[in-house]
Amino acid sequence: METPGAKHSPGPLDGVIVLDLTRALAGPHAGMMLGDMGARVIKVESPTGDDSRGWGPPFIGDDDERESTYFMSANRNKESVTLNLKDDGDKDVLARLVRRADVLLENFRVGVLDRLGFGVERLHELNPRLVIMSITGFGHDGPEAARAGYDQIAQGEAGLMSITGTDPEEPTKVGVPISDLLAGMNGAYGVVSALYERERTGRGRVVRTSLIAGVIGVHAYQGTRWTVGHEVPEMSGPHHPSIAPYGLFHTATAPVQLTCGSESLWRSFADAIGLDKDEPRFATNRDRVQHRLELIAEIEKIFADQPAEHWLDLLTETGIPSGKVRTFDEVYAWDQLLSQGLLIDVEHATQGTLQLPGPVLRLDDNPYSGGREQHAAPPTLGQHNESVRAWLDGS
């Protein structure tokens, strides 16, 4: 079915209409993922716009057309309409949009939508088939549900900062707002699951997730290290806490990374660089983890004699998984990244042609990334006010 409104190439979610009432990053990221797969995403902003429109520098464009690069990171493939949800006329427009929509995304603090007159019960009165995705900081219920959710706070509260970095006196956050991004990914996954269920039941449901759930959901072996092994994880810097050698090693020029995830890889690696593979401190992975600092010192002593390129070539020849540490300018010039469609060109309404990081999924019948052949640039504030209202009036 062809979706009315903005033109785009069909994708798996073509025909799905998403109302994105979210701001900042977690919710907008979920909406962008759905838009990448072909959904029509209508971003509902306050008259002053999404908070992230003001986050910077960097900004691009002249002052009267200034755009935030932060906002651009989470809002491709969307239309923007502005509504004042304290105004009765604009509330009516939102109600009309809800009746037409398949999905509504929101990340207000608990209780805000109810106070605006759009609680879950009202939304399902307007549209029983509506899938509602709600993202909060700490969960929609429980003793701390009312707390505002921001990424770094969630990283700390959910334990991630306690295992990131090298100095226990200086817990370190991940270099991107990972709890926001994970919550958005989980939210999009929940939406697609609820849409699939709706094919059987004919009714929508509420999907809830949170920033702390996003972090705890990726604790992986660090989580079971405590819940099963009763060992509190600690920082291990750029090295794996349970496998050795696995991490970053300095050479005569730049650092390299390598992993020996099996005993056969360890033996091949040790032979290749001239270490005694059967030395008692390093004979098994358990031994090597126990003597990790000594092993790192031995490897870096050898690596200090040659530049990074020498060791990367040797590791590749030996079949040892390895790599360099790239800066962002190097990453976006990397042939492999370009081959995967991870850099896309879009035409922005005021800024012209822009390059953006691309969608992470590729479909087998589409040589491009995402579910579209062409992607739309992040919208300017209220760019689609007239076209969306015209669509409502004509539908």
3-state secondary structure of 4: coil
Q: How many domains does the chain have?
A: 2
pLDDT of residue 371: 81
pLDDT of residue 296: 97
Q: Is residue 280 part of a domain?
A: yes
Q: Which residues form the domain of 291?
A: 256-324
- Same domain, yes or no, for 319 and 343? no
Query: Using an 8 Å Cβ cutoff, are 380 and 352 in contact?
Result: no
- CA separation for the pair 193, 11 (Å, rounded): 17
Over the stretch 173-205, which tens digit does the pLDDT of each residue have?
999 999 999 999 999 999 999 999 999 999 999
Over the stretch 114-134, which tens digit does the pLDDT of each residue have?
999 999 999 999 999 999 999
Confidence of residue 395 (pLDDT cuts 50, 70, 90): low
Q: Which residues pair with 369 in a beta bridge?
A: 362
Residue 239 tokens, joined: 């090295």
Helix (H) or strand (E) holding 170: none
| Domain end call among 298, 324, 350 | 324
Q: Is residue 224 part of a domain?
A: no
| Domain end call among 300, 324, 348 | 324
Diameter over CA atoms, the chain: 78
- Same domain, yes or no, for 186 and 82? yes
Q: Does residue 298 have a pLDDT over 90?
A: yes
For residues 263-300, b (16+ Cβ closer than 10 Å) or e, as one string?
eebbebbbeebebeeeeeebeebeebbebbeebbebbe
- Same domain, yes or no, for 89 and 213? yes
- Same domain, yes or no, for 71 and 140? yes
CATH code where residue 165 lies = 3.40.50.10540
Query: Using an 8 Å Cβ cutoff, are 5 and 38 in contact?
Result: no
Q: In what order do the strands lie in the sheet with 322-324?
A: 246-249, 256-259, 322-324
Q: Does residue 16 have a pLDDT over 90?
A: yes
- Same domain, yes or no, for 188 and 301? no
Beta-sheet pairing, 343-348 with 352-357:
antiparallel
Supply the mean pLDDT for the chain: 94
Q: Which residues pair with 208 in a beta bridge?
A: 134
Over the stretch 130-154, which tens digit does the pLDDT of each residue have?
999 999 999 999 999 999 999 999 9
Confidence of residue 356 (pLDDT cuts 50, 70, 90): very high
- Same domain, yes or no, for 364 and 388? yes
DSSP for 279-318 reads -GGGSSHHHHHHTHHHHHHHHHHHHTTS-HHHHHHHHHHH
3-state secondary structure of 348: strand
Residue 6 tokens, joined: 């903005």
pLDDT of residue 370: 81
Q: Does residue 305 have a pLDDT over 90?
A: yes
DSSP classification of residue 239: B
DSSP classification of residue 38: T
| Domain end call among 324, 351, 370 | 324
Q: Which of 315, 272, 293 is nearest to 282 (CA)?
A: 293
Q: Does residue 158 have a pLDDT over 50?
A: yes
Mean pLDDT score, 337-353: 95
3-state secondary structure of 187: helix
- Same domain, yes or no, for 298 and 261? yes
Mean pLDDT score, 3-26: 80
Q: Of 164-173, 207-216, 295-304, 364-373, where does mean pLDDT reach its minimum?
A: 364-373
Q: Does residue 367 have a pLDDT over 60?
A: yes
Range list of H helices, 244-384: 263-273, 285-290, 292-303, 308-318, 328-331, 335-339
Active site residue 384: no
Q: Does residue 224 have a pLDDT over 60?
A: yes
- Same domain, yes or no, for 295 and 374? no
- Same domain, yes or no, for 60 and 201? yes
Q: Does residue 4 have a pLDDT over 60?
A: no
Sequence-separated contacts (24+) of 258-266 with Cβ below 8 Å: 258/315, 258/320, 258/321, 258/322, 258/323, 259/320, 259/321, 259/322, 260/320, 261/321, 265/319, 265/320, 265/321
Q: Does residue 2 have a pLDDT over 50?
A: no
Mean pLDDT score, 299-311: 97
pLDDT of residue 9: 53
pLDDT of residue 8: 42
- CA dihedral (36, 39, 43, 44) in degrees, to 10, reads -160
Q: Is residue 6 part of a domain?
A: no
Catalytic residue selected from 219, 240, 250, 310 = 240
Confidence of residue 91 (pLDDT cuts 50, 70, 90): very high
